[in-house]
Each structure stands twice: as C-alpha cells, then as structure tokens.
Chain A
Amino acid sequence: MQEFIASVVSVAFHGTAYGMILYVISVGLSVTMGLMGFANLAHGVFAMAGGYVLTTAMDRFGIPFPVSLAIAFGLVAAASVVLERALYARLYTAGELAQVLFTIGLIFIAAAVARLIYGTLQQPVHLPEYMKGQFSLLGRDFPTYRVFIIAFGAVMVAALWFGVERTRFGAMVRAAVDNRGMAQSIGIDTQRLFMLTFALGSGLAGLGGALGAEIIAVEPSYPFEHLVYFLIVVAVGGLGTLRGPFIAALVIGIADTAIKYWVPQFGAFLIYVATIGLLLWRPAGLSGRTA
C-alpha cells in the first residue's frame, strides 16, 4: 500500500510538471486560434526554437539560466512578429487547407534548419547547480528542477489569468475572441491586437520549450512529434480560452505519465480514445463556446 501511494505521488508529480510545460507551450496556440481562427500547426516550432535558444545561450555564450529563459521568450516573440507580418498575415482569409499546408511547410523548413545548424542529436541541458539534485518534501525526494517547473508554471498561469481578467489588454482580447466584428466596430485595432497576442503566445511557447527542454527533448523532429499533444490540449480545452487548456494539459500530462508508468504496453492509445470521446461530447472543447 505504501508503495502504491508512493508511485501515485510520483506519477502525479511528474505528470503535473509535464502538464505545466504543455500548458505554457499551448496556451498561446489556444488564444491565437480563438482570436483569428488560424490553424497554426507550426506552433511547436516556436517551442523548439525556445529550447534551442536556451541551450545555445547557456552553452555557447555562458549566459546564466534565468537570463537565458528571458532571452528565449523575447527572441522567439520577436521572431514570431516578423513571421506573422511577412507570411501569416497573407493567409488569414485563405481557408483551412492553405493554412494547414503553409504551417506544415514551416515545420519542414524549421526542422531542416535545426538539423543543419545543430545536428540531429538532442540538445543536452546543463542546469545551474542550484537547480540540480533533489528537494525534500513531506519525507519524499523530488527532483528540484521539476519542482521549479511546477512552481514557475503556477505563477505563470496566475499572471496570465490575472492579465486576461483584470487588464484592459486582456479585456480587448476577450472581446475580440467573442465577437471580432463587434470589437472592431467599437474601435479595437484587431490587427495590432492579434500581432501582440501572437507575439505573446509564441514567446510563451518559446519559454515553455526552454523550460521543458529536460522533459521534452529539443531536437529537430520536435514540432512533428509533439504536435498532436499541443493540438489535443487546445482542441479539448477549447479555443480562445485559458482555463480549458489548463485542465486539458494537466490531465494529459498526468495521464501520459501514468500510462508510461503503469501500463506502457498501451501507449498513448487511451489518450487518443479519450480525446475522441471528449471531442464528440463537446466539439468546442471543455470550456469553448460553439460558434
């Protein structure tokens, strides 16, 4: 019985850490898809880029960990703005197929560039000393870094929710997600809003990719491999919302870890079946609204 409880705690812990990373990466995708209806399958590219920026900043330039995280966020956000203005903006009215194809093309390009610059191996993450080792809590040992991820994630989530609920910017985003036409007619510059939200969402993806570089390996096939999970978080959680994806991310993180731990012979099969079930029951996601 002791052992069972111990493994449950372990699974819940590791699963929550994984779920936090999934959320930080996917929340941007949820908002931008809700806002502009643009199927950005290449969202994983921003997360991957964040991971590469972090490892390059730390290994090549010796920049300390916290600063590197900030740089990952900023650099990816800036790059996403450039991409958005140059390419994405042209496809807002182009229809779903064109958007899907375009973003798949981006994934191919990003993966090839990553391979050319960094090679095909997973990027090793060298955490600072204070992040290594174990952390003792209630008689159990937990890896310090994953505790940090959970704590950081929680703070991030709180900040996001506060930002969306309490600030003017957040109110504008919520308005535009609800009814873009109406929002535009009351004078909200939705183009600029989208650009900023896109930057924020992509920057968050970069941050999530950097933070989670230990859990989700940073290597060139990253955007392809984890695309399904990011999309599940968003689709199941509900486009354009914050709370739904949070629950979805946690559930997926814990479920995935639990499966790997207890029934690895099933693989992610159960998660996909659950996704199908959920989407059929609620096509707009857990907290989404039907159009």
Chain B
Amino acid sequence: MRHNGSYSADSRISWVEWLPWLAGIAAFFLLPDFLSLGARILVYVMYALSLDLVVGYAGIVTLGHSAFFGFGAYIAGILAARLGWTDPLIQLVFAVAGAGVLGLVTGAVILRTRGLTLLMLTLAIASILLEIANKATGLTGGADGLSGVTIAPIFGLFRFDMFGKTAYWMCLVALFTSWWIVRRVIYSPFGASLVGIRENFVRMSAIGSPVYGRLLSVYVLSAALAGAAGALITQTNQFVGLNVLSFESSGELLVMLILGGVGRIYGAFVGPVFYMIAQDQLAKQFPEYWSMGIGLLLVVIVMFARDGVLGILDRVIAFVRRRRQPAS
C-alpha cells in the first residue's frame, strides 16, 4: 500500500488540500438540515485518521481501536451526566488526556508482541472496556446508555441544539487541528521511521532505530486523537451508549478506512464520507443488503483494489498521464 505522502515528498500544503475544508464550510450553509449527519461524518474522519496512524503508517493491525474512542466518549458523557461538568472544552481535554493515558498503559504492555498475539490483545482490551461499560451501570448506564448528557454552550454563546450547528463547527475545528498535527507527524523524520518500521521491522531494529519507543509514541498519539473523536460524538449526540465500544463499530471503521485507502491521510477523509453518506441513504431501506454489500465490498477491495478509492484514483490519474504523453 504505497502512496506519495512521505518524508521525501513536498510537505507544503498544496491548494488541493484546502478543498475539503472549503467543502466543509460550504456544507454548513448549503445543507442546514444535514448538519447532525455532517458532524458525525467529521467525527468519523477524525477517528479514521487516528486509526490510519497505527494501521496504515505504523503497520499495527488492531481490532480494538474502539477502546480509545469509547473511552473518550464515556469520559465526556460521565463528566457531563454524573459530575455536572458540562463545558465541552473541558470534556474534550479530559477525554484526550484519558485516552492518551490508556494508550500509553496498554501500548506499553502489548506493543512488545506481534501478529496474532497483538491482535488478540487489542481485542481483549476492547472487550474489557466493553464489559466494564456494560456492567458498571451506576457510572455508564450499562445497556441503557447514558442519558442526561447536557453540554453547556461553548464560551457561553453557542448552544448545542438539535440541529447540530454548534456541534458541526466544533467537529470541523477539531478535525482541522488533528489534520494539522497528523500532517506534521507524517511529513517528518518520525513519520518516515514509522513507514520504515512497517515495511521492515527487523532492519529498522538493526540500524538502531528505537522501534518500540516509536511505536508507543504513535500509539499514544493515535489513542488521544481517537479519544477526542469519542468526546465529540458524545457531544454531538448528547448521548453515549455501548455501541461506541462495540466490534461492529471497530469493523465499520476499518471498512471506511480501507474504502478510502489505508496509509494515506486523505484515505481517512474519503472513506468515511462515502461510507456514511451511502449508509444514510441506503442502509435504512435495505439493512440486510447493506451489510452484505459491505462484506462484498471488503472482499473485492482486498482482492483487487487494496489501495481503496484513492488508490483507484491514483491509478486512473497515472493512466491518463501516460496517455497524454506522446509515445516515445
């Protein structure tokens, strides 16, 4: 799964990269009824971005990323509903910190393993969090979920209403910040070493690269981002339930990322947008066919288009460029 974004590539932001943000701002004015959906899409882009860091760049295959997302989501929810700390920015800070710490603790423990053992451990950790959330009903509401999540207006001015206007802006700004951070990380020597670790673990260790430390750092960063995304989804929905920790949601996220293209920043943008819009329109009519379609899509992508939509786009562009050049 190769792409152009890497240390050697030009790290200045090209004009094309500003388009998504313009589209995001335009959507606010053009689609006022869909802002709730829009905010959720933005959250999932952020979540996918965090997953891309570990899976795409660092090569850590994890099925338990929902642990960080869910942890952040519940932190925000519990602060609001149980402690009455309704300021959204405070919730966000705590969610980021909490998820980061969780990432540090779990990563320190599991990143020494590889392969199936690592996969299993990520699953086990996510399962533990799910069980805790399920059973500690006093804290989390259990299967009923946590209602009574009130979010105070940001700066006392912007209310979180049912139309999702404030939520949308908050998610857009948060996503922008994350994108900025991720971009800096990728286009840096650190980012290059991650790609090296992914491509050839043994050789990187042989040249003295602090592999474990690097993996742990990116894992913590990714966990913190996922935690932030989780807090945002709680604030957008003004509710948090067990589904944020479920395997279905982890699996769905992987699908979204693969769809867009793993190992590239904009894969995390394209995938969730396509997936969630399609889901919004199609899944309601035909829930069975929807999940079958997702399964088929996954199989087809793995077989034929492992780079996802952006990979296909790359190939099309390369093809067109070749056609344009005179045969020599």
Contacts and interface: CB of A to CB of B under 8 A. Distances in A.
| A and B, direct touch (CB closer than 8 Å) | yes
A273 B295 contact: no
A171 B296 CA distance: 38
Nearest to B123: A228
The DSSP consensus for interface residues of chain B is: helix
Contacts of B310: none
Contacts of B298: 101-102, 104-105, 108
A239 B116 CA distance: 9
Interface string B286-328: 0011011011111101110010000000000000000000000
Contacts, number: 121
A247 interface: no
A151 interface: no
Contacts of A224: 247-248
B113 interface: yes
Interface string A96-135: 1110111011111111110110000000000000000000
A115 to B, nearest CB: 5
- Chain B's interface size range is 35 or more
Interface string A271-289: 0110110011001100000
B299 A105 contact: yes
Interface string B242-265: 000001100100110010001000
Contact of B251 (A91, A96, A104, A276): A104
B61 A100 contact: yes
Contacts of A276: 109, 121, 124-125, 128
Contact of A109 (B55, B251, B299): B299
16 contacts: A33-B116, A96-B115, A101-B255, A102-B299, A104-B255, A106-B299, A108-B292, A109-B296, A112-B291, A112-B292, A231-B119, A232-B124, A272-B127, A272-B128, A276-B124, A279-B121
Interface of B: 55, 59, 61, 63, 109-110, 113, 115-117, 119-121, 123-125, 127-128, 131-132, 134-135, 247-248, 251, 254-255, 258, 262, 288-289, 291-292, 294-299, 301-303, 306
Interface of A: 33, 39, 87, 90-91, 94, 96-98, 100-102, 104-113, 115-116, 224, 227-228, 231-232, 234-235, 239, 265-269, 272-273, 275-276, 279-280, 283-284
